[in-house]
């Protein structure tokens, strides 16, 4: 397992090195697609880290997004800083109409299948101060053990999240976003959590600060207002770098959640810091 994860990591580093010499395709696409009546997008990637951003795919764009989260750094070299314990998510995303996109994904964490939709309501301009986007996702946990939950129903495997994403590009370098969120989990394991919290409310916020033409620093935090005081889970955070290279965006980050799905990291962040990355490729 270690060798496999190490090879994956090295492969992405090699791809990054080979692409760094190319012209910045994303800049070219942005120049061609920009309407002068609107501000440039507040974020370069679909996510700030784990948290969704107001970035939208252009009509007809197809995205492949690979998210990888390693194990806890605290385990040290026993797990080679977490490389032996990894969670991977592969997501396919397409925009059929301008301002509307859909995606499907499969994450190894809880063997989760997910589908999502993202719709733009408004764009920042001289006449409107912010970007407004709605996001909704449905997740299905296929790993739940029926021997532990003998009365398990198919719907118990489902969890949901809906968000209103509000962002503003304050300057060429700095953007900020708020993300009020509703989470619904149809199953609560009382062997893990102290009380049932099927319906949860959270507030996410995050920002981006541009360090150079191709590199920015991103950070986010999600406060779950519905979590019981004695819950073993923590509020989610993530911080790291966005790196643009011809047609790709690499996001290198540190976070306290191995899941990158909204119901996962917003309700069940484990608390231990892990290293991870997102690789975004647009076709």
Q: With contact defined as beta carbons under 8 Å apart, do 181 and 163 qualify?
A: yes
Query: At 258, phi and psi to the nearest 5?
Result: -85, -15
Structural element, H or E, at residue 36: none
Q: How many domains does the chain have?
A: 1
Domain hosting 163: range is: 2-282
Residues of the chain above pLDDT 90, percent: 68
Q: CATH code at 133?
A: 2.40.160.40
Q: Is the pLDDT of residue 13 over 60?
A: no
Q: What band does 35 get if pLDDT is binned at 50, 70 and 90?
A: low
Q: With contact defined as beta carbons under 8 Å apart, do 249 and 212 qualify?
A: no
CB-side exposure of 81: number of CA atoms within 13 Å? Answer: 4
Residues of the chain above pLDDT 70, percent: 87
Q: If 0-12 CB within 10 Å is exposed, 13-18 middle and 19+ buried, where does residue 199 land?
A: exposed
The two structure tokens encoding residue 9? 């990591």
Q: Is the pLDDT of residue 159 over 90?
A: yes
116-123 own/partner pairs: CB under 8 Å, 24+ apart: 118/52, 118/56, 120/54, 120/56, 123/38, 123/39
**Number of H-type helices and E-type strands within the chain:** 3, 12
Q: Is the pLDDT of residue 28 over 80?
A: no
**Residue written as tokens 């962040």?**
269
Task: Quote the CA–CA distance of 139 and 104 in Å, as a whole number.
Answer: 10
Mean pLDDT of 38-56: 94
Q: Is the pLDDT of residue 14 over 50?
A: no
The two structure tokens encoding residue 218? 């991103």
Q: What band does 76 get if pLDDT is binned at 50, 70 and 90?
A: confident
Summarised one tens digit per residue, pLDDT across range 223-274 is 999 998 889 999 999 999 999 887 788 999 999 999 999 999 999 999 899 9
Q: With contact defined as beta carbons under 8 Å apart, do 102 and 93 qualify?
A: yes
**Residue written as tokens 């007809």?**
60
Task: Quote the CA–CA distance of 173 and 20 in Å, as a whole number.
Answer: 21
Task: Quote the CA–CA distance of 251 and 43 in Å, as a whole number.
Answer: 12
Q: Check residue 82 and give its pLDDT.
A: 74
Task: Quote the CA–CA distance of 65 and 50 in Å, as a whole number.
Answer: 12
Q: What band does 104 get if pLDDT is binned at 50, 70 and 90?
A: very high
């Amino acid at each position: 397992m270690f060798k496999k994860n190490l090879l994956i990591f090295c492969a992405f580093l090699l791809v990054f090195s080979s692409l760094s010499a190319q012209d910045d395709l994303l800049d070219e696409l942005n120049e061609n697609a920009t309407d002068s009546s609107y501000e440039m997008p507040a974020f370069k990637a679909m996510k700030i880290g784990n948290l969704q951003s107001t970035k939208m795919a252009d009509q007809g764009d197809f995205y492949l997004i690979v998210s990888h989260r390693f194990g806890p750094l605290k385990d040290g070299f026993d797990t080679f800083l977490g490389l032996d314990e990894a969670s991977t998510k592969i997501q396919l995303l397409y925009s059929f109409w301008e301002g509307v996109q859909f995606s499907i994904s499969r994450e190894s964490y809880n063997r989760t299948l997910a589908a999502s939709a993202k719709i733009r309501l408004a764009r920042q301009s001289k006449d409107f101060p912010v970007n407004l986007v709605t996001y909704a996702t449905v997740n299905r946990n296929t790993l739940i053990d029926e021997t532990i939950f003998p009365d398990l129903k198919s719907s118990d495997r489902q969890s949901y999240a809906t968000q209103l994403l509000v962002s503003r590009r304050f300057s060429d370098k700095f953007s900020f976003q708020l993300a009020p969120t509703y989470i619904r989990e149809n199953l609560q394991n009382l062997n893990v959590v102290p009380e049932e919290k099927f319906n949860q409310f959270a507030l996410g916020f995050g920002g981006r600060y541009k360090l150079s033409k191709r590199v920015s620093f991103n950070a986010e935090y999600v406060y779950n207002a519905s979590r019981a005081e004695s819950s073993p889970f923590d509020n989610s955070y993530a911080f790291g770098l966005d790196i643009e290279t011809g047609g790709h965006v690499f996001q290198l980050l540190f976070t306290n959640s191995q899941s990158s799905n909204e119901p996962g990291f917003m309700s069940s962040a484990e608390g231990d810091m892990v290293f991870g990355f997102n690789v975004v490729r647009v076709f």
